[in-house]
Amino acid sequence: VVMMALRKEPGLRYDSAQRLADDIRGHIDGYPVLAHPESARYRFSKFVRRNRLAVGAAAACVLCLVAGIAGTAWQAHVARAERARAERRFNDVRQIANSFLFEFHDSIQNLAGSTPARELVVRRGLEYLNGLTKEAGDDTGFLRELAAAYERIGDVQGNPSRANLGDTAGALESHQTALALRRRIHDGTPGDRTSALELSISYDRVGDILWLKGARAEAFEKYTLALGIRERLWREHHEDATLAHYLTRSFNNVGDLQLEGKQTAEATANFQRAHAVATQSAARHPGDPRALRDLSVACNRIGDSHWYASDFSQALASYRQGLEIREGLFDRDASNAVYRRDLIASYNNIGDTLIETGQPEAAVEHYRKALAVAESLGSADPQNAQAARDGAICRKHLAAALLRVGRPDEACRCLAAAEASLNSQLESDPANALLIKDIAEVSRMLRDAACPVS
């Protein structure tokens, strides 16, 4: 201010005393003066000096804000990294567990002697599933994996059509959990064909276990729900081999319970529907093992309807037609436990029919064949509850035929062995109504034959 007031050049000095006074007052009050070159930095420095407290507080707030943003950003980065690592670990666990539950299980499920390995699948699988079920959320893919895993475990625990551990109560719990998951998936994907078919399969599996427990009305309800879904899908997809397989199964399931309930006409109609679908599928897919097996099952069911109608000659023809298919499948894959068990059923059915037609010696021959196959399955897989029951049932059939041909001693030995086996199985699986029924029948036969009490 002083230097500007003393300049020699008139144009560079203050042009009035008032302007000099204004600059002096501005300097004293901390405002910019005319004597200083104009710049944003100069004006800002003057502002800061005039408002030290306010600027300090604002600066502190800005610093806190910047620090907070930086901290939050860092925490978010760390959280994203942790989440990514957790997701990678989770997906690795899912992949390993799915490989264990599906690839490993599927590779051994039809092998005789695989029950101990399948028991390991159950134990490890339940540990895995119990830790993941709460994480399912609404992820359809994840829900589908969980449902399929529970179904696998339920089958190992107590599927009456496969080698199992004889844990009927555990099997029902696993399949009911799977059914609840399948319903969630179906409700969340309306109109989806895959979800609908999977839901029907889950109804079937729960129905199988309910039937095994003797809850026939509840089993019939589940089978009927499955059939309704499959019939609806079949109207739009006649060419689908998988759908044909499950539709055939549904007709047979419903027919089986109708036959047990003395609804012979209704059962026969459903067996004929199953036979028609199976015949069509086998013709459309020649050589396909599943289609051929479905046809053999359908032939057996037609034989059952003839048998219950006392048309034993037609029953025998149908049973033999089914046996021919089954022997062909067995020749192609002798290690397949399902095919071997199918042979047991066919030999027993033919034996039962030969008894009714007055050919007990021929029946004995077929029952011995059935027992030989059952014993081979049991020897290969001692922990297989299904094979153990099959062996006991074969001994019961054989004993009945032996009594007819005058061999009571051998018959009593067969019955005693059957009773001991069934009682042992019931100790491990007290919820199995079929075992209770089997024991009652064998006990009655022992009394009627006047067999010595062991």
Region of poorest pLDDT, from 53-62, 153-162, 344-353, 405-414:
53-62
197 and 154 in one domain? yes
Residue type, 223: Y
Bridge partners (DSSP) of residue 336 are: 111
138 falls within a domain: yes
Q: 183 with 275, same domain?
A: no
Average pLDDT of the segment spanning 344-357:
97
Residue 91 lies in a domain: no
pLDDT for position 42 = 67
Radius of gyration of the chain (CA): 40
Q: How far apart are the first and last CA of the chain?
A: 130
pTM: 0.72
The angle, 0 to 180 degrees and rounded to 10, between the axes of the packed helices 433-448 and 385-404 is 20
Whole-angstrom Cα distance, residue 413 to residue 426?
A: 20
pLDDT, residue 382, reads 85
In a domain, 150, yes or no: yes
- Same-domain check for residues 301 and 369: no
Taking only the tens place, the pLDDT of each residue in 131-161 is 776 666 778 888 888 898 889 889 888 888 7
Task: Spell out the residues 6+ positions from residue 422 whose beta carbon is closer than 8 angstroms to its own.
Answer: 389, 392, 435, 438, 439, 442
Q: Domain of 393: which CATH number?
A: 1.25.40.10
Do residues 192 and 222 make contact, with C-beta atoms less than 8 angstroms apart? no
In a domain, 64, yes or no: yes
Q: Share the mean pLDDT of the chain.
A: 86
Cα–Cα distances in angstroms (integers) from residue 46 to residues 22, 26, 34, 372, in the given order: 16, 10, 13, 108
How many structural domains comprise the chain? 4
In a domain, 42, yes or no: yes
What pLDDT score was predicted for residue 58?
72
Tens of pLDDT, residue by residue over 79-105, are 777 666 655 555 555 555 565 566 565
CATH number, residue 298: 1.25.40
